[in-house]
Amino acid sequence: MKAIIVGGGIGGLCAALALQQAGIETTVYEAAPKFKGLGAGVGLAANAMQGLQRLGVVDEVVARGKQLDALVIFDEHGREISNMDTRRLSNKYGINNFVIHRADLHEVLLKHLAPGTVVLGKRCEEIEQNGEQVQIMFADGSHATADLLVAADGISSVVRQQLVPDSIPRYAGYTCWRAVVDNPGVEINNMISAETWAPQGRVGIAPLQDDKIYWYACINAPQRDEKMRRMTPEKLARHFEEVHSPVEAILACTSQDQLIWNDIADLKPLKHFVYGRVVLLGDAAHATTPNMGQGACQAIEDAVVLAQCLKQEPILAKALKSYEKRRKARTAKVIQLSRTLGEVAHWRNPLLGKLRNTLFRAMPRFITQRQMEDLYRVDF
């Protein structure tokens, strides 16, 4: 069997590695002309780390990132709203609450692929299925043919939009900036992933290796808002100046070229991930808001499960049906829970915000841990 993967992000590279390990000839076509060492941090929960372990790369990934002890939510004054110790879950399900620079994860995955696997500068424009093959037409006029096409080309997937024209990304109501910076000399807890829920918006801070900090900031705003597009690190710092330290200092130390901005969106759960010999994977299939830190995690799961199904079932149609069955309900649940959590975290009304914080503080920890355990039990 020959497989083609459209998209060289985390999901696409993991799928390529998994398929090659299953003995399937695989080529990845990526639209970008080159891989840049850009991007921000990415959080990987125990389910993703289990997937990377099955791909044989977990030790190298661990060497490049940092495992943290807790997920902590603060209010604007720095008072705890929620504090979930993740060490017990790590002991039970393996490495958990792990953060790494996205470029480092990319580098590890690329190193394990067969030489020549990734072809850059190939933007997919159209696909066509003919009996037992799929043909992909690229923007440069070239084309490629395979027995299986894996669409891993993100939330705005060209392949998905051709197959399901009404699968349009849904704006979540808030926009987001991210960056990785050198610690400007502020004191942070180097063993926690911290998030602050404030009337001004939401800010996350996580330590990386080499005294670097990954941060993100989300603000309620209209979609494609010009004012948000023109936001600078200095303006962001002023916006959050009344939030507890060191939020303002971390935002202010960011340079404009380090700043990544995008509106937050997800996909309404799809009825199908498989269309003949075309299979959707990662954000192309089930893009989710980042509130549960499960976007990359679910893409890694997809890759492992897809390869397992193809290896276990010699009939392609049955293998792909099995993949869809194993992935559809699980990812739909993540989409829905993550969107709800984001809505609650972004309540603007001060009274509702105080009520939310009070309820979260009173919530028994076992409830939150049980929800996390549901995520970490993967049917690999």
For residue range 135-164, what is the model confidence (pLDDT) as tens digits? 999 999 999 999 999 999 999 999 999 999
- Rounded distance, CA 195 to CA 75, Å? 9
The pair phi, psi for residue 129, each rounded to 5°, is -100, 130
Pick from 138, 146, 132: nearest CA to 19: 146
- Give the model confidence (pLDDT) of 329-341 as tens digits: 999 999 999 999 9
Ranking 69-78, 132-141, 276-285, 370-379 by mean pLDDT, the lowest is 370-379
Q: Specify the CATH architecture of the domain 2-37+103-169+267-376.
A: 3-Layer(bba) Sandwich (3.50)
Residue 100 parent element (H or E): strand 98-101
Please identify which residue in the block is written with the tokens 């008072």: 79
Please check whether residue 334 is in contact with residue 292, taking contact to mean a CB–CB distance below 8 angstroms. yes
What does the pLDDT look like over 209-258, one tens digit per residue? 999 999 999 999 999 999 999 999 999 999 999 999 999 999 999 999 99
Contacts of 43 (CB under 8 A, 6+ apart): 97, 98, 99, 193, 206, 293, 296
pTM of the model: 0.97
**Mean pLDDT computed over 64-91:** 96
pLDDT band of residue 366 (cuts 50, 70, 90) is confident
pLDDT of 371: 85
Q: Give 311's pLDDT tier (boundaries 50, 70, 90).
A: very high
